[in-house]
Chain A
Amino acid sequence: KQEVTQIPAALSVPEGENLVLNCSFTDSAIYNLQWFRQDPGKGLTSLLLIQSSQREQTSGRLNASLDKSSGRSTLYIAASQPGDSATYLCAVPLGNTDKLIFGTGTRLQVFP
């Protein structure tokens, strides 16, 4: 059974810090991995999608890496800003289906 874990559950950092969010999954036979952002009271916004054949994806100050063999992905946020404050979730498809299995998220607060 695929299980997705995110550590830490919460993180508070001062503005300007570089930070890393972690995501681990128990079944390494994943098709891809997706990172989402969720603002309080809002829906999920897709940030990055990494295919199983890729090692990393970048979008602006965000960089996501994928190591299938170790069952891990990291989301690196460079030069954090207060506007980055949100909950970040990772998710992987269940087998070769479209159904996503989500981690419980990391709640990030960036203070000025």
Chain B
Amino acid sequence: NAGVTQTPKFQVLKTGQSMTLQCAQDMNHNSMYWYRQDPGMGLRLIYYSASEGTTDKGEVPNGYNVSRLNKREFSLRLESAAPSQTSVYFCASSESVSYGYTFGSGTRLTVV
């Protein structure tokens, strides 16, 4: 059972480039999330999806877009990368608030 799978694990972008971070879960969870983790800031929610076809903004959505392609997949897109988006990005999923979260292993993104 793979759980939550994120790709790629590492990426270096130049300022202004675009890219999509992929996330897939095989636990049939309804909710999926994208967080970023920065030193001293903890994890902050970028976007989340409560079910297939729905998405909503979190605490730090600016500069990002998301797509809930189906129940399994939730992608995060950076249209024009900026150095401030250098971070570690985590995808997570949950069945409901009662059952807790499962996290992916993260994508370490550097924007130069």
Docked Cα-Cα span, A76 to B94, in Å, equals: 26
A44 in the interface (beta carbon within 8 A): yes
Let me know if A63 is at the binding interface, CB within 8 A: no
Q: Closest Cβ of chain A: how far from B10's Cβ, in Å?
A: 10
B96: min CB distance to chain A, Å: 7
B100→A46 contact, CB < 8 A: yes
- Whether, in the assembled complex, A42 has its beta carbon less than 8 Å from a beta carbon of chain B, the answer is yes
Q: Could you tell me if B45 and A100 are in contact, using CB atoms closer than 8 angstroms? A: yes
* Chain B residue total in the interface (Cβ 8 A): 26
A-side interface mostly: strand
B72 shortest CB reach to chain A, Å: 17
Closest to B9 in A: A41
Q: Which of A11-19, A67-75, A101-109 faces chain B?
A: A101-109
B101 engages A104 (CB within 8 Å): no
A59 contacts B by Cβ under 8 Å: no
Q: Which residue of B lies closest to A105 (CB)?
A: B42
Binds A, one of B13-21, B62-70, B78-86, B102-110: B102-110
Residues of B within 8 A of A (CB): 31, 33, 40-45, 48, 50, 58, 90, 92, 94, 96-106, 108
**Which A residues fall within an 8 A CB radius of B?**
31-32, 34, 36, 41-46, 49, 51, 89, 91, 93, 96-100, 102-105
